[in-house]
């Protein structure tokens, strides 16, 4: 009975939004928010958003994608500075940020070393110098939006930024605390990864998120993030089947947060994506169309610097629901409970491995090696 009622509700909502979404998009276009899109690309975004909604309604899950569609059309995003897009042989790195200067400097340095020529940042109201530093960088296009952050709202912003550069090119979708790594990257820049993907007809590449930790306590004071947060788990990850829309694929779980805090956070992501016409980033972990998820091999590690010293104050606020952040599933409460109650909190264990270079990834069974 519950499933029947749910199906009826989703069906009604779908037909309602089939009317509402085009109306919203057409209004945004007339107001100038989407006028930079060609007529054909504008039509593609509308159609693909409707198709995504139809899939979610039919499957009866993840109806939150409505926020992605709404934000894409109606968020007030200022173009602070934008130059011509770089060569399609190297991906554009796209991310949203607020007040994370030290990690942003680390991220930009990392991807510049891998041959990235273009970054596209959406700043969400930084006041710690992040915005000013980004503005000074010649290879960074800068956008700004002061609206309230939510996870699905962020995906709307990510799609909006991508729409400025267009379909049929490669993008790296990331967060400010993540660095994509792969075996052999010291000799092979991202251009080689793109060529490998083209030869093998791969449209997106899967990654395993690897929480990096210090030898001492979590949130240890640091002046060099990568030097101090260099330890990782290699043997605590596992896979499980999950359904997205109507597609079954495997996602990664595990790592130190599961090992110490019983926190089953999703560790699989698809950071390198070829945005063919109709592609949408509808989740921080994957993209639509979901039919491509099972065929995406895992060639990436994603070094995740989540527990550095500057994070402690903010995570406490999130755990207490005092920051405007919705602590879905009580994740941040689990983090703080562990820190407060473990006595001598430490992520290290006898099987911890030091990340020395990209070949350290070979110790993780799930990460494959690209044949460049």
- 262 shares its domain with 353: yes
Chain centroid offset of residue 5 CA:
33
- 219 shares its domain with 350: yes
- 328 shares its domain with 345: yes
H or E stretch including 97?
strand 92-97
Domain limits for position 117 = 68-174
- 42 shares its domain with 78: no
Name residue, tokens 């639509």: 288
Q: Do residues 67 and 156 lie in contact, with contact meaning Cβ atoms separated by under 8 Å? A: yes
Residues 6+ apart with CB under 8 A from 20: none
pLDDT in tens, the chain (372 residues): 556 666 677 777 777 788 888 999 999 999 989 999 999 999 999 999 999 988 887 776 666 888 999 999 999 999 999 988 778 889 999 999 999 999 999 999 999 999 999 999 999 999 999 999 999 999 999 999 999 998 899 999 999 999 999 999 999 999 999 999 999 999 999 999 999 999 999 999 999 999 999 998 888 888 899 999 999 999 999 999 998 877 889 999 999 999 998 888 999 999 999 999 999 999 999 999 999 998 889 999 999 999 998 888 888 888 887 655 667 778 888 888 888 887 678 899 999 999 999 999 999 999 999 999
* Distance in angstroms (rounded) separating the CA atoms of residues 42 and 77: 17
* Distance in angstroms (rounded) separating the CA atoms of residues 333 and 113: 37
Here the CATH number for the domain that contains residue 103 is 3.40.1380
The domain boundary residue, chosen from 141, 174, 207: 174
- 224 shares its domain with 166: no
- 198 shares its domain with 115: no
Q: How many residues does the chain have?
A: 372
- 314 shares its domain with 203: yes
* Distance in angstroms (rounded) separating the CA atoms of residues 291 and 196: 21
- 190 shares its domain with 287: yes
The domain boundary residue, chosen from 174, 190, 219: 174
Q: What is the pTM of this model?
A: 0.94
Domain count, the chain: 3
- 32 shares its domain with 52: yes
- 95 shares its domain with 124: yes
- 261 shares its domain with 286: yes
- 53 shares its domain with 112: no
Q: Do residues 140 and 121 lie in contact, with contact meaning Cβ atoms separated by under 8 Å? A: yes
Q: What is the pLDDT, as a whole number, of residue 91?
A: 96
Residues 6+ apart with CB under 8 A from 225: 102, 103, 106, 305, 308
The domain boundary residue, chosen from 14, 42, 63: 63
Instruction: Please give the angle made by the CA atoms of 38, 166 and 21, to the nearest 5 degrees.
Output: 60
Q: Do residues 307 and 211 lie in contact, with contact meaning Cβ atoms separated by under 8 Å? A: yes
Q: Do residues 13 and 21 lie in contact, with contact meaning Cβ atoms separated by under 8 Å? A: no
* Distance in angstroms (rounded) separating the CA atoms of residues 315 and 335: 8
């Amino acid at each position: 009975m519950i499933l029947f009622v749910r199906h009826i509700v989703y069906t009604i909502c779908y037909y309602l939004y089939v009317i509402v979404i085009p109306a919203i998009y057409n209004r945004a276009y007339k107001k100038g928010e989407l006028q930079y899109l060609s007529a054909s690309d504008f039509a593609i975004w509308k159609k693909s958003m409707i198709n995504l909604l139809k899939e979610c309604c039919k499957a009866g899950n993840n109806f939150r994608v409505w926020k992605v569609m709404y934000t894409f059309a109606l968020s007030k995003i200022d173009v602070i500075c934008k130059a011509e897009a770089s060569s399609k042989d190297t991906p554009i790195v796209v991310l949203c940020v607020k007040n994370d200067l030290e990690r942003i400097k680390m991220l930009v340095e990392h991807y510049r070393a891998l041959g990235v020529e273009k970054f596209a940042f959406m700043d969400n109201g930084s006041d710690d110098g992040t915005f000013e530093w980004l503005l000074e960088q010649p290879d960074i296009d800068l956008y700004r939006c002061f609206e309230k952050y939510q996870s699905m709202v962020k995906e709307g912003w990510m799609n909006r930024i991508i729409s400025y550069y267009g379909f049929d090119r490669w993008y790296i979708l990331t967060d400010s605390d993540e660095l994509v790594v792969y075996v052999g990257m010291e000799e092979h820049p991202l251009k080689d990864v793109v060529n490998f993907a083209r030869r093998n007809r791969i449209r997106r590449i899967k990654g395993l998120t690897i929480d990096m930790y210090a030898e001492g306590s979590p949130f240890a004071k640091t002046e060099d993030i990568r030097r101090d947060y260099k330890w990782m788990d290699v043997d605590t990850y596992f896979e499980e089947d999950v359904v997205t829309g109507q597609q079954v694929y495997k996602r990664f779980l595990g790592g130190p947060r599961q090992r110490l805090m019983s926190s089953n956070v999703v560790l699989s992501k698809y950071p390198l994506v070829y945005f063919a016409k109709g592609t949408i980033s509808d989740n921080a972990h994957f993209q639509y169309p979901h039919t491509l998820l099972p065929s995406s091999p895992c060639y990436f590690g994603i070094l995740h610097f989540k527990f550095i010293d500057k994070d402690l104050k903010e995570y406490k606020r999130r755990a207490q629901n005092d920051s405007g952040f919705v602590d879905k599933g009580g994740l941040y409460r689990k983090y703080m409970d562990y820190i407060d109650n473990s006595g001598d909190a430490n992520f290290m264990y006898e099987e911890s491995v030091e990340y020395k270079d990209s070949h350290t990834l070979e110790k993780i069974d799930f990460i494959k090696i690209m044949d460049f």
